[in-house]
Amino acid sequence: MQQLESLAREAVALAAGSRTVIPILSAREAEVGRQMQICNACRYCEGFCAVFPAMTRRLEFGKADIHFLANLCHNCGACLHACQYAPPHEFAVNVPQAMAQVRGQTYVDYAWPPALGALYQRNGLTLSLALATGLALFLILAVAVNGTLWGGQLGGNFYNLFPHNLLVGLFAPVFLFATLALAMGVRGFWRDVTPATSGAPLSGPAAAEATDAVLRLKYLDGGHGMGCNNDDDAFTLARRRFHHFTFYGFLLCFAATSVATIYHYAFGWTAPYELPSLPKLLGVVGGVSLMIGTAGLWHLNRRRHPLHGDAVQRPMDLGFIALLFLTSASGLALWLGRGTPALAVLLCLHLGAVMALFATLPYGKFGHGIFRSAALLRHAIEKRQPNTIGLAAD
């Protein structure tokens, strides 16, 4: 029905000789457009985040505007609890939910290659299959190489099971593909939202501001520093903090791997590394941080107010959180259990988890960070351009 209306609108616009053709909005996009028109006539939430100031620069909400705003929204929940038009009001305004639903759709729409976008829609299944495949791959390999999964002549060194070059040969292509897929996805998004966000090119100050917003998770601070909402209308910094644990934990683990790669190729220092070597230090701190962060986010996610976000995406959120937790926990277990007969099993578990994580990076929750960063960057660029709307009251 919504599509029919958009089609009719487009036909009318064409008949009237209007130069701008309104792209057809999906039902979810039309819902964001409807809510934004209500919000734009109210504006009480301007102080909470970047979405509302960006909204006030617009009078109409086209597809690209909606995609941009949906990815700018951090689903903090503040505007829902503050909203005089939230359900049970007949206007039924729930911006975090409407935005989340479109956001989920943009992940699918911009996925590269496009055919794999469908993986988002059944993300729980995608993650489970990836994990099962990863595990099976390494377990079978281990038995083939070692003859057994328990004990064996490994001497605490996992390269005795899987030689370095074999691991590089398995992981490098998957990782490079994931990076390429994410880059292609966000490239498409950037190309579509740029004209809708002033079209201006990237500038140093805008990049600095967006980076700051990403690294500090500025828009989970509620605009007043007390944090966002989780269970109810009270503000909490817990979500922001656990996200920091997760994000920085992930970065530290990634740094550990990168340093280890440099050690290996540049200096010929081969793994396993022990404390207090830099890769181990980064890995242990990162792994523990990742476990704390994901455990916290899991707990908060389970207690989220039912009206927050898009319930359909819950399996994707929780699946990603669980996989990150499994990756970090198995990594730490591998380190602690390296001298035990369990080494081979632990190694397979960890490598299987990492493989599943890498393989699903472009088709799961990880994408939110990439698309949101791009939206924040476009916002930082757009807000530096003169506002074309001049209200009489101002």
Task: Using CB under 8 A, pick the residue from 25, 78, 178, 381 that binds another protein.
Answer: 78
How many residues in the shown chain lie near another protein by CB under 8 A?
A: 39
Task: Using CB under 8 A, pick the residue from 224, 299, 303, 384 that binds another protein.
Answer: 224
Enumerate residues 6+ apart whose C-beta is below 8 A from 260: 271, 273, 279
Structure letter (DSSP) for residue 348: H
Question: What is the spatial distance between Cα 149 and Cα 365, in angstroms, rounded to a whole number?
Answer: 33
CB-CB contact of 48 with 79 (8 Å) = yes
43: left (phi over 0), alpha (psi -120 to 50) or beta: left
- To the nearest whole angstrom, how small is the minimum distance from the Cβ of residue 224 to another protein? 4
- To the nearest whole angstrom, how small is the minimum distance from the Cβ of residue 12 to another protein? 10
CA distances from 80 to 72, 75, 115, 308 (A): 16, 10, 35, 8
- To the nearest whole angstrom, how small is the minimum distance from the Cβ of residue 79 to another protein? 7
The two tokens of residue 54 are 């960006």
Task: Using CB under 8 A, pick the residue from 21, 23, 89, 179 that binds another protein.
Answer: 89
Task: Using CB under 8 A, pick the residue from 2, 26, 64, 85 that binds another protein.
Answer: 85
The residues pairing with 235 across neighbouring beta strands, listed in sequence order, are 229
Task: Using CB under 8 A, pick the residue from 1, 4, 20, 88 that binds another protein.
Answer: 88
Question: Could you tell me which of 79, 89, 29, 30 has the C-alpha nearest to residue 51?
Answer: 79
Report CA dihedral (359, 70, 304, 92) to the nearest 10 degrees. -140
Comparing CB distances to another protein, the nearer of 25 and 351 is 25
Comparing CB distances to another protein, the nearer of 66 and 154 is 66
Comparing CB distances to another protein, the nearer of 257 and 387 is 387
Comparing CB distances to another protein, the nearer of 62 and 337 is 62
Comparing CB distances to another protein, the nearer of 47 and 114 is 47
Task: Using CB under 8 A, pick the residue from 1, 4, 115, 392 that binds another protein.
Answer: 392
Question: What is the spatial distance between Cα 100 and Cα 228, in angstroms, rounded to a whole number?
Answer: 16
Comparing CB distances to another protein, the nearer of 43 and 187 is 43
- To the nearest whole angstrom, how small is the minimum distance from the Cβ of residue 196 to another protein? 16
Task: Using CB under 8 A, pick the residue from 32, 51, 66, 79 that binds another protein.
Answer: 79
Comparing CB distances to another protein, the nearer of 49 and 323 is 49
Binding mask 44-73 for another protein (x = CB under 8 A): xxxxx----x--x--x--------------
Question: What is the spatial distance between Cα 158 and Cα 336, in angstroms, rounded to a whole number?
Answer: 13
Return the range that interacts with another protein (CB under 8 A); candidates 77-85, 100-108, 345-353, 373-381: 77-85
Comparing CB distances to another protein, the nearer of 66 and 142 is 66
Question: At 310, phi and psi to the nearest 5?
Answer: -110, 110
90 binds another protein (CB under 8 A): yes
The residues pairing with 229 across neighbouring beta strands, listed in sequence order, are 235
Question: At 236, phi and psi to the nearest 5?
Answer: -140, 145
- To the nearest whole angstrom, how small is the minimum distance from the Cβ of residue 78 to another protein? 6
* DSSP codes joined into one string, 128-162: HHHHHHHHHHHHHHHHHHHS-SSS-S-TT-GGGTS
Task: Using CB under 8 A, pick the residue from 10, 24, 26, 42 that binds another protein.
Answer: 42
Comparing CB distances to another protein, the nearer of 140 and 226 is 226
3-state secondary structure of 86: coil
Task: Using CB under 8 A, pick the residue from 32, 83, 259, 291 that binds another protein.
Answer: 83
CB-CB contact of 365 with 320 (8 Å) = yes
Return the range that interacts with another protein (CB under 8 A); candidates 76-84, 99-107, 287-295, 297-305: 76-84
Kindly report whether the peptide bond that precedes residue 306 is cis, defined as omega within 30 degrees of 0. Answer: no
Return the range that interacts with another protein (CB under 8 A); candidates 83-91, 94-102, 170-178, 203-211: 83-91
The two tokens of residue 330 are 């198995």
Binding mask 3-22 for another protein (x = CB under 8 A): -------------x------
* DSSP codes joined into one string, 163-177: -HHHHHHHHHHHHHH
Kindly list the residues in this chain that would bind another protein in the complex (CB under 8 A).
16, 37-38, 40-48, 53, 56, 59, 78-79, 81-85, 87-91, 223-224, 226, 233-234, 388-394
